[in-house]
Amino acid sequence: MSIMMTPGRVLYNLGPITRLPLGEGRSFLIGDTSVAIYRMRNNEVFATQASCTHRSGPLADGIVGDGKVVCPLHAFKFNLADGEPVGNTCAALKTYPVSISPTGDILLDLAE
């Protein structure tokens, strides 16, 4: 993992997107922050906090599709674009800006 810093931003290179299979998530620990990165079947990527706001379920292990993740502990859904719960009253997930570099690496943006 490499780090690029600019005023007010810390950009982490998490490696090639090809390490993350289509339709799956993976957790990363960056300092004290646990983040789940999800790769949709259309190659779109999202990033949220790694644990569910309800029972701290490991969201990267949940079912991913249609821009949502389903928590593996209690089957509650969350929208990956904004972290909002879908059909439940859980608190929203924290989301993070994430993109794919021109060379195919996952770039996660964490504010300082």
SS3 category, 81: coil
CATH number for region 16-107: 2.102.10.10
> Which position has the token pair 């309800």?
54
Q: What is the pLDDT of residues 94-108, one digit of tens each?
A: 999 999 999 999 999
pLDDT at 55: 85
Q: 3-state secondary structure string, 30-76? A: ECCEEEEEEECCCCCEEEEECECCCCCCEHHHCEEECCEEECCCCCC
Query: What is the model's pTM?
Result: 0.90
Q: How far apart are CA 40 and CA 67, in angstroms?
A: 7
Output the average pLDDT for the chain.
92
pLDDT at 5: 66
Is residue 44 very low, low, confident or very high in pLDDT (cuts 50, 70, 90)? very high
Span 58-84, average pLDDT: 95
| Segments making up each domain of the chain, as ranges | 16-107
pLDDT at 11: 87
Q: Could you tell me the two tokens for 100?
A: 């794919």
